[in-house]
A and B are shown apart, each in its own frame.
Chain A
Amino acid sequence: GIQVEQSPPDLILQEGANSTLRCNFSDSVNNLQWFHQNPWGQLINLFYIPSGTKQNGRLSATTVATERYSLLYISSSQTTDSGVYFCAGRISGTYKYIFGTGTRLKVLA
């Protein structure tokens, strides 16, 4: 079926640690995006990354479309990185984007 799956579901880190979040997506999904939802509920687009690697400060993302996965790297984590990270993909042949259920990250001071 059409799926976007994220792992791990929950992650607790000490400030300064690095982490990798994973998003697996089925054959009929492409055009990956990553989002951060902060504790106040606001959704921020981090990356639009259908393939390849992008970096923005301490965050970077890699999508290997041929192997149906994307990774979000957070380096030197800060308490402000806490929240839920979602990946979303577009169903091929449509304009519909579906979301994974998210990775809840808590960074401890």
Chain B
Amino acid sequence: NAGVTQTPKFQVLKTGQSMTLQCAQDMNHEYMSWYRQDPGMGLRLIHYSVGAGITDQGEVPNGYNVSRSTTEDFPLRLLSAAPSQTSVYFCASSLSGNYGYTFGSGTRLTVV
């Protein structure tokens, strides 16, 4: 039982490049979400999903896409990286919206 697995742990991108941050959970959780954490700003919700095939926007969705083709996986795509997307990205999952979150270990992304 690995919990929530995020890859990669670190990434450096050039402005304009695209990439996918991977998130996988093996707990059969329905609810998954992506957050970004910037210094002094807590965590802000990017996108979330309440089950396979169902996604919705959070507070800061611009510049990011998600899909949820399986219960286990919830990848986050950066379409055209910008320096403002430099951040630490966390994926979280829970059994439903009424249970506690389990977080992945994060991906530290730098856009130059």
Contacts and interface: CB of A to CB of B under 8 A. Distances in A.
Given A41-B106, A42-B105, A95 B97 contact: yes
Nearest to A45: B100
A60 interface: no
Interface residues of A, number: 22
Contact of A43 (B33, B40, B56, B103): B103
B99 A48 contact: yes
Interface string B33-53: 101000011111100101000
A97 B98 contact: no
Contacts, number: 54
Nearest to A4: B42
B57 to A, nearest CB: 9
Interface in A29-55: 31, 33, 35, 41-45, 47-48, 50
Contacts of A88: 43, 101
Q: Is the interface of A mostly helix, strand, loop or mixed?
A: strand
Contacts of B92: 43
Interface of B: 31, 33, 35, 40-45, 48, 50, 56, 58-59, 88, 90, 92, 97-103, 105-106
B40 A101 contact: yes
B58 A96 contact: yes
25 contacts: A31-B97, A31-B98, A33-B101, A35-B103, A41-B105, A43-B92, A44-B103, A45-B100, A45-B103, A48-B100, A86-B42, A90-B97, A95-B31, A95-B48, A95-B56, A96-B58, A97-B33, A97-B45, A97-B101, A98-B45, A98-B59, A99-B44, A100-B42, A101-B40, A102-B42
Closest 8 CB pairs of A and B: A48-B100, A43-B103, A95-B97, A99-B43, A101-B42, A99-B42, A45-B100, A95-B50
A12 B27 CA distance: 37
A47 B100 contact: yes
Contacts of A86: 42-43
